[in-house]
Structure 1
Amino acid sequence: MEMNTRWTANGRVLMHVTFWLCIVVFLTTLFEVEGPGFKAAFNTVMMLLPVHVVYFYTLSYVIIPKYLYTRKFLQLTLCFVLLAVGCVLMYRIIEILFADPYFFKEMRKLNPDWKWQKIKGTFLEQLTNMEYLIHGLEQSNSVVWIALVIKFFRMWYERKQVALQAELNFLKSQIHPHFLFNTLNNLYALTLNQSPKSPEVVLGLSDILRYMLYECNADYVSLKRDVVIIQNYLTLEQLRYGDRLDLNFSIKGTIADQRVSPLLMIPLIENAFKHGASEITEEAWINIDLDVDAYQLKLKVSNSKPSQPIERDAACGNIGLQNLKKRLELMYPETHRLTIYDEEDMYLAILQINFGTVPYLATTTEREASFDSGHMATIFSKTKTSRSWK
C-alpha cells in the first residue's frame, strides 16, 4: 500500500512538472517571435512563471476545495476576485521592475534605436495603465485556466472510472452469491441422498470458491482459467442430474493468451440448467459450444424446454442474465453481441466477444499450460440421442 501510494505521488509530481515544462516551452516560443532570441525569451518567461504557479495552486488546492466543493459560492467568488486582482498586480510589478527592462535591454542590443512605449512613465503610471493591466489579466489567467480545464477533465474522468468500477463490483457481488447459491443447491441435493459423490462436489466447489474469492477481483482473467471453472461447474451439475441429462460441452480453437472478464459465460450456462434440465424430468439436453481464436470468443448455449413452462417470479428469476448484459456494456462496449432465441422447444443463447480491446497479460507459464486444440475438443459428451444446432 505504501509503495503504491509513493508511486502515485511520484506520478502526480511528474505530471505537474511535465505540464509546467510544456508551458515554459510554449510561452518561450511566443516571446521569441520577433524577439531578441531564445535565451532572452526563456529568461523573461521564467521571471513571470512564479505568478502562474502561485495563481494556479492557490486556486486549485486552497480556494476550490474550501469553497467550491462545500458549495460556498459567495466566498468562492470573493476569494477568486481577490486572487485574480492580486496576481494581476504581481504580474505587472514583475514586468515593470524586472521583465520589461530586461527585455528592452536585450532588444536594444539587436537594434540600438529600438523604442518601446510600454516602459515609458513612472512606476505608478505603468502600474495603473489600463491597457497593460488588461494585458496582464489575460496573460496571468490564460495559463491558469488551461491548467484548471485539464485538472477538471482529469477529475471527471477519474470519478467516471471509479463509478464504473463501483458498478462492476456491485454486479460481481450479485453474480458471485447467485453462482454460489446454485452450486450449494447441487451439494444439498446429493447430501440428502447420502451420495458417495458428495466429496467430489466439495472439491469442485472449493476450487470455484477459491476462484471467486482470490481471482475474480481482477477486471480480466485468463480465459483458460475461466473455462476450467466452467468445467468444474458442469461436473457438479452432471453429478447432480446423472443419466437423465444429455450434456455436451465442446471447445473449438486454441485457448492460450486470451483474457476475459471473469464469470461472463456462467450466467448463460446456469440458465440452461435452471430453465431446461431442472424443469424436465426426462430426456433433458444441454449443448455448449465454445469457439475461440486470437480475436474473438463465441459461446453457444442451447437447452431443451419443458412442454409446459413453469411460472416463475420475474423479479427474482433473471438476476444473472440482467447482470451479464450490464457487465458486457461496461467491459465490452461496442465489442460484444448477445443474441437470445426463445423457440417453442429450445432456448438458444449466443455470446460473441471481440478480444481486440482486451489486454493480453498471460504469462509464459499460462501459455505453456494452455489448451492447445486445433480441432474440436469435446470436454463433456454424454449423448443419448442425436441433437445439434448451428
Structure 2
Amino acid sequence: MTDKITKYDGYSIPRKYHFIFWIGYFMINFIRWGSYFDDYMYSFKSNLVEFFIHIPITYFHIYYLIPKFILKKRVVLYFISAILTLGLVYIVRTELNLLLVTSNIWPEAIGIQKAYSFNHIVAVTIGEVYVVALATAIKLTMDWIAERRKNAQLKQLQLKTELKYLKSQIQPHFFFNTLNNLYYLTIEKSDKASDVVLKLSEIMQYVLYDVKEPKIGLLNEINYIQSYLELERLRHGEKINSQIEIKGNIDDISIPPLLLLPFIENCFKHGSKNNDSVNLDIHFENKKNQQLVFSAKNNFNTNNNNEKKRGIGIENVRRRLELLYKNNYSLETKIIDNTFNVLLKIPIL
C-alpha cells in the first residue's frame, strides 16, 4: 500500500499532510465555535457532521471537477457541476444537522432562522466554498511549485546533456587533428612519428579518463596545453615559439575540462601556413580570487584560408560558456596588427 493519495497529473501530497491539514482545520473550528457559543459539545458535533461533508466534496472538486472540466477548458460545465454539487451538499449538510445536532439550524444568526431560507443557503454555500477554495489553493500551489521544480530539473538535465555533447565533440576533433599531424610525419618518414604516438597516448589518457568530472584543476589543464604544444613542436620543430605566463596563485582554481584548448588550436589554424612560424603568448591571471583571466596572442596569417573553414572550436567554447556561466563571463576575439587576440574572463567558483 502506497503512502500517496490518488492524484491526477499534479503533485502527489503525502497522506500524512492531508491528515495534518484536516485535523488542524477541525481543531481551529471546534475551538473557535465552542468558544463563540460557550458550548463545546455543540461545536464538536456540528463540526464533525460538516467535516464529513467538507472532505469528500473537497477531493471531488480537486481530483474530478478540475481535471475533468477546468483543465479541458470546459468552464461552463464546470460551473454547472459545481453549483449542482453545492446544492446537494447544502441539502445533505442541513438535513444531517437537523437530525443529529440541533433544530436551531443557524444559532449564530440574529433571530430564529429557518432551513432552506435564502440567507441560510447563501451562508452555508459561502462556508463550503471557503473550505474547498482553501484546500484547492493549497493543492494548486503545491502543483505549481512541483512543476517549477520539475521544469528546472529537466532544464538542468538538458544543459548537462548538451555540455556532455559539446565536450565529446572536442575530443575526436583534437584526435583528428593530431592524427593528421601523425599522417604528415609518416608521409615524410620522419623519426618524430614515434614521439608523436607516445605523446598522443599520454594525452589520450588525460582526455579519456581525467576529464569525466565537470571541473578539473587549472594546473592539469595547463599541463594538457603544454602537451599539445609539444605535439605541435614535434611536427613543426623550431617554428613554434610559445610561452606561458602565470600571475597569482592558481593552485586551487578549477575550470571545465577542455575549455581552453580550442583557443590554442585556433592559434595554429590562423598562424601557421607552409613554413610560417607560430609565435604564441599565453597568460593566466588570478584576480583577487574572484576572476580568472585567460589571454592568448599569436601572429595572424592573413593569407591563411583555414580560418574560412567552419569548425567546432570557438563556437563550441562560446556555447559551453553560455551554459556554464550564463552572462557571468566575457570572451573577446579580435585581430590587431596581424595578431590574433583572445581574452576570456570567467568567475572563480
Q: TM-score, normalised by structure 1?
A: 0.63
- For residues 123-178 of structure 1, the C-alpha deviation after alignment (integer angstroms, 9 at most, x for no partner) is xx979953344334423321221122112212222222233223323322332222
User: Where does residue 189 of structure 1 map in the other structure?
Assistant: 184
Question: Which 5+ residue runs of structure 1 have no aligned equivalent?
Answer: 1-14, 106-113, 359-390
Letter in 2 for 1:347: F
Matched, 1:259 2:231: no
Matched, 1:287 2:281: yes
Partner-residue secondary structure (3-state), 1:279: coil
Q: CA deviation at 1:236?
A: 1.0
Q: Give the distance between the partners of 2:299 and 2:64, measured in 1 at CA.
A: 68
**Contact 1:252–1:291 at 8 Å: present in 2 too?**
yes
User: Where does residue 337 of structure 1 map in the other structure?
Assistant: 330
How much is the aligned-residue C-alpha RMSD, in angstroms? 4.9
Matched, 1:244 2:239: yes
- For residues 224-246 of structure 1, the C-alpha deviation after alignment (integer angstroms, 9 at most, x for no partner) is 32222212212211222111221
The structure-2 alpha-carbon separation of the partners of 1:141 and 1:191, relative to structure 1 and needing over 3 Å to count, comes to: same
Q: CA deviation at 1:120?
A: 8.0
User: Where does residue 149 of structure 1 map in the other structure?
Assistant: 144
**Contact 2:232–2:240 at 8 Å: present in 1 too?**
no
Aligned mate of 2:344, from 341, 345, 351: 351
Aligned mate of 2:167, from 169, 172, 177: 172
Q: CA deviation at 1:325?
A: 1.1
Letter in 2 for 1:343: I
For residues 1-390 of structure 1, the aligned pairs below 5 Å read 16-17=13-14, 20=17, 24=21, 31=28, 35=32, 73=72, 77=74, 81=78, 96=93, 115=108, 121=115, 129-276=124-271, 278-279=272-273, 281-292=275-286, 294-306=289-301, 308-312=302-306, 314=308, 316-355=309-348, 358=349
Partner-residue secondary structure (3-state), 1:182: helix
Q: CA deviation at 1:180?
A: 2.0
Q: CA deviation at 1:281?
A: 1.6
Partner-residue secondary structure (3-state), 2:280: strand
Partner-residue secondary structure (3-state), 1:273: helix
**Contact 1:56–1:147 at 8 Å: present in 2 too?**
no
The structure-2 alpha-carbon separation of the partners of 1:187 and 1:140, relative to structure 1 and needing over 3 Å to count, comes to: same
Q: Give the distance between the partners of 1:33 and 1:347, measured in 2 at CA.
A: 79
- For residues 257-300 of structure 1, the C-alpha deviation after alignment (integer angstroms, 9 at most, x for no partner) is 22211111111111011111x22624431111122353221111
Partner-residue secondary structure (3-state), 2:344: strand
The structure-2 alpha-carbon separation of the partners of 1:349 and 1:57, relative to structure 1 and needing over 3 Å to count, comes to: farther
Q: CA deviation at 1:220?
A: 2.2
Moved more, 136-145 or 48-57: 48-57
Greater RCO (Cα-Cα under 8 Å, separation 6 or more): 1
Bigger Cα Rg: 2
Letter in 2 for 1:254: N
**Contact 2:159–2:323 at 8 Å: present in 1 too?**
yes
Partner-residue secondary structure (3-state), 2:251: coil
Q: Give the distance between the partners of 1:51 and 1:198, measured in 2 at CA.
A: 81
Q: TM-score, normalised by structure 2?
A: 0.69
Letter in 1 for 2:286: V
Q: Would you say how many aligned residue pairs link Structure 1 and Structure 2? A: 317
Q: Give the distance between the partners of 1:256 and 1:331, measured in 2 at CA.
A: 21
